[in-house]
Amino acid sequence: MQIEHLNGKIVLEKKLNSLDKFVLDFLSVLNTLEVNYVLVSGYVSILFGRSRSSEDIDIFIQRLDFKKFEIVWRALYKNFECINTEDVKEAYEEYLVKDHALRFSSVGKFIPNMEVKFPKMELDEWTLENRKMVVLNKKILFVSPLELQIPFKLFLGSEKDIEDAKYLYNLFRDTIDMDLLKEFSRKLKIEDLFKRYLI
């Protein structure tokens, strides 16, 4: 795996696993339809080479009106299906608008699945607005800024989340904005965890 930092982007070359391929296929629809999104949580560390499994990929998409969402839904349904419901109106009104996640998987499969949500907190909005571009084998995707991703993983606090935080920190410690990282550690009140696991 090769990682470069180029003009504010992370350029990544690696052998794709089945999860990477699933993610890229899904994101190609959002990219084509110009829907803003950001990948968050566990898949970010997997993307950058951490060896662990994951059954779902968490993603925030920009708030869409129903008409635009229906276009996205139809485009996704060429290769994916929604696990929650087959009704587009129910998916929009009873899930996304009410801040519940929609799960999309490849047709006929339940895992892996893409857990799609609208941003519902200020921190979610910030993550979407400040998303980081990754060029993976010449294909574009957007991930949570590592300065937030790492503290948030510590905030979640499970063994898996802490290991994700440690992995990303050690991989990117020379290029991340340490002041911003510490600011989010203060906001999330995990400064003790930061000192225990990352310093």
Confidence check: pLDDT of 42 > 90: no
70 and 132 assigned to the same domain: yes
52 and 140 assigned to the same domain: yes
140 and 152 assigned to the same domain: no
Per-residue pLDDT, 109? 87
Per-residue pLDDT, 48? 94
Give the C-alpha separation, 9 to 56, whole Å.
25
pLDDT, one tens digit per residue, over 120-150 is: 999 999 999 999 999 999 999 999 999 999 9
Give the C-alpha separation, 142 to 37, whole Å.
7
49 and 103 assigned to the same domain: yes
User: Which range of residues forms the domain containing residue 194?
Assistant: 146-199
Final residue of a domain: which of 129, 144, 159? Answer: 144
CATH code of residue 37: 3.30.460
pLDDT, one tens digit per residue, over 81-108 is: 999 999 999 999 999 999 999 999 999 8
7 and 36 assigned to the same domain: yes
Per-residue pLDDT, 198? 81
Phi-psi region of 190 (alpha: psi -120 to 50; beta: other; left: phi over 0): alpha
Q: Are 126 and 148 in contact (CB under 8 A)?
A: yes
Q: How confident is the model at residue 199 (pLDDT cuts 50, 70, 90)?
A: low
133 and 161 assigned to the same domain: no
54 and 128 assigned to the same domain: yes
Distance (Å) of CA 76 to CA 20, 36, 179: 17, 15, 39
Helical ranges in the chain per DSSP H: 18-32, 42-47, 66-76, 88-90, 122-129, 146-156, 159-172, 178-187, 191-197
94 and 169 assigned to the same domain: no
Q: What is the total count of domains within the chain?
A: 2
14 and 101 assigned to the same domain: yes
26 and 81 assigned to the same domain: yes
Confidence check: pLDDT of 15 > 80: yes
156 and 91 assigned to the same domain: no
Final residue of a domain: which of 119, 144, 169? Answer: 144
124 and 160 assigned to the same domain: no
Question: Beta strands 132-136 and 9-13: pairing type?
Answer: parallel
Q: How confident is the model at residue 197 (pLDDT cuts 50, 70, 90)?
A: confident
